[in-house]
Amino acid sequence: MPLPNANQPWPPRHLAPAFQMFATCQVWWEGDAEKLSASHGEPARSGLGGTLRDRIKRLFWGTKPDVSNQIRQIHIPIAADLVQTAASLLLPDPVTFRAAKDDEDANDEARERIDKILNSPQMHSAMLRGAESGSALGGVYARIVWNSTVKDHAWLDFVDADQVVPEFIYGELSAATIWEVVDQNESEDRVLRHLERHEPGYVEYHSDGTETQVYGRIYHGLYEGTAITLGREIDLSAHPETKGIPVNEEGYVDTGSAGLTAFYFPNALPNPVFRGKGTLQHFGRSDIGDPAVIGLMDQIDETYSSLARDVRLAKARLMVSEHLLEVKGPGKGTTFNVEQEVYERVGGVPNGNPVIEAHQFAIRVDDHLRTGEGFLRAILRRVGFSPYTFGLADDSGAAMTATEVDAKKDASTATFKTRSGIWKAVLAQAARTLIEVDAAVFDTGAMLGQELEVRWPPAARQSLLSMGQTLQAIESAKAASTEWKVRYLNPDYDDQQVADEVARILDEGTVADPLALGADQPFPETDPVEEDPAEDEDADEADPELDDKEDDGDELSFAA
């Protein structure tokens, strides 16, 4: 299928609810107070019914402050903290990619490119950025890109969900159109968009019974339109960012791989907001886009704004009688000198005493903080994080056993396992396609027969002391082999490294038999040393007296 038709609404109208959700998530993720106040929740209201519209109108950020009683709104960046924590929880350490053990087609060139491209700090950094964006917007896309002037290999580029128009078949991504605004003139309402459509390869059957493998394609197009319409397609050479794309006469680039070169990583599934709504039902669930979560974050902002109001009202103020004010002159008003220590007796004052009263309201710090923490705990329960992940202690105040502490962390661990499982399935496919495209573009000769093995790091590493105590208990119980203990202590080891470590441990643990060479054992027999007769004759000639003594000794020995 070619690129979209000209002059159609952009983004496409059937995806409007999703892009409205993206806009709302973006505002909360960014955390700009002015944008929050200006948006009033409008992106989340359109097309979602009057009930939600009325509820969002009642949000703290959707309230227009009265001029006579202006509210100073404060934003607490809970949304930004949530998505950052979600990314670090999902990827505490780099992910490891390896060729499958039973992949007989994998060669050394493929293993070398895997280490160079995938097992690199750049890949881990890109995945962290993608995970944070996916947590905020409900999902993130990745595409395979290459440019020999930038890098000597292909790589995965992660793209935010609000820059992609996806197509799904039974829940699987079948094609994706990625776009970016390369130029914009707001005064003329003119927008230049670069569209990049990824399609998978297919098998072409011929009438003579033969088959032809058609590789995947990436179409490129440049469109001149407005803020809400795609406009007309123009030549790629019309803009510096697109004129160097090496498309053929049909407007696409051959990928050299049969697989799709775009991939979708949903944050969490299902998304109840889009349930049963065609393509929308395949979009992931955002950690900060749930209406309930938005309402709770709004309540936290209102709570802290109230605390800030208490701080302002708690400033010390004095109520003084007008007789104590110093007149500055006609039209200049009056003042009260707070540093003055002595006052003259003033007449005409009720009871004969001037009024000097101090007023200072209390700051309800604990009440506000407990309220805000309660809202935060409710958010964490909805998202699937443990309060311990955010450094919140147990609210019961009672001492807990180690089992109870682990149970408190189970929520974050379960969320980690669910999301890492989603990522592993997509990454295994993406990694193989990436190596195939890299081999076709850079002629590396790398070959793979299966998808790669993706080894995910654990959610949290135990301390060496804790692991040592566990191993000691297991050793005392004789409940595990040496191989199991090595794998437990070194989860990132492959089979060969485990085997080598086990062999070293067994060699070091071998104790020699104390009876193998003891005092009560005979010395090992050795072969007698043959003497040279010539050397004996030379010795006799050199010392004849010694020879006579030896003869006498022999005789004496014989006689005895």
Q: Which residues contact 191 (CB under 8 A, 6 or more apart)?
A: 181, 183, 184, 185, 224, 225, 226, 227, 231
CA separation, residue 154 to residues 80, 196, 439, 476, 522 (Å): 31, 17, 9, 51, 71
pLDDT category at 421 given cuts 50, 70, 90 is very high
pLDDT digit string, tens, across residues 233-254? 999 999 999 998 999 999 999 9
Q: What is the pLDDT of residue 483?
A: 87
pLDDT one-digit tens code per residue, 5-38 = 888 999 999 999 999 999 999 999 998 888 888 7
5 in helix, strand or coil?
coil
Integer Cα distance of 120 and 96 in angstroms: 9
What is the number of H-type helices and E-type strands within the chain? 16, 17
Task: Report yes or no: 86 and 135 within 8 Å, Cβ to Cβ.
Answer: yes
Q: Judge whether 193 and 10 are in contact, CB under 8 Å.
A: yes
pLDDT at 48: 41
Give the pLDDT confidence score for residue 113 in this predicted structure: 95
| From 5-14, 57-66, 446-455, the region with the lowest mean pLDDT | 57-66
More confident position, 494 or 427: 427
**What pLDDT does 515 receive?**
56
**Residue 466: what pLDDT?**
75
Q: What is the pLDDT of residue 340?
A: 67
pLDDT band at 547 (very low <50, low <70, confident <90, very high): low
Tell me whether residue 364 is exposed, middle or buried, using C-beta atoms within 10 angstroms of its C-beta: 0 to 12, 13 to 18, 19 or more.
middle
User: Which pLDDT score is estimated for 460?
Assistant: 67
Average pLDDT, whole number, for the chain? Answer: 82
Percentage above 70 pLDDT, the chain:
78
Cis peptide before 270 (omega within 30 of 0): yes
Is the confidence at residue 44, as pLDDT, over 60?
Answer: no
**What gap in Å lies between CA 23 and CA 162, rounded to an integer?**
8
Q: What is the pLDDT of residue 101?
A: 84
pLDDT of 187 above 90:
no
Residues 6+ positions from 225 with CB-CB distance below 8 Å: 7, 10, 190, 191, 193, 231, 232
Are the beta carbons of 364 and 310 closer than 8 angstroms?
yes
Instruction: Confirm if 277 and 460 have CB atoms less than 8 A apart.
Output: no
Query: Structure tokens of 114?
Result: 């895997």
3-state secondary structure of 485: helix
3-class DSSP state of 442: helix
- Residue position matching structure tokens 């958010």: 379
Confidence band of 165 (pLDDT split at 50, 70, 90): very high
Lowest mean pLDDT among 34-43, 228-237, 500-509: 34-43
Paired sense of beta strands 317-320 and 252-254, if any: unpaired
Amino acid 467: pLDDT:
78
- 352: pLDDT strictly greater than 80: no
Q: How far apart are CA 463 and CA 337, in angstroms?
A: 63
Q: Over 70: is that where the pLDDT of 141 sits?
A: yes
- The pTM (predicted TM-score) of the whole model is 0.78
The set of residues, in sequence order, having a beta carbon less than 8 Å from that of 168 and lying 6+ positions away, is: 174, 279, 282
Nearest Cα to 300, choosing from 364, 379, 395? 379
Would you call 271 exposed, middle or buried from its count of C-beta atoms within 10 A (0-12, 13-18, 19+)? buried
User: Which one has a higher pLDDT value, 514 or 327?
Assistant: 327
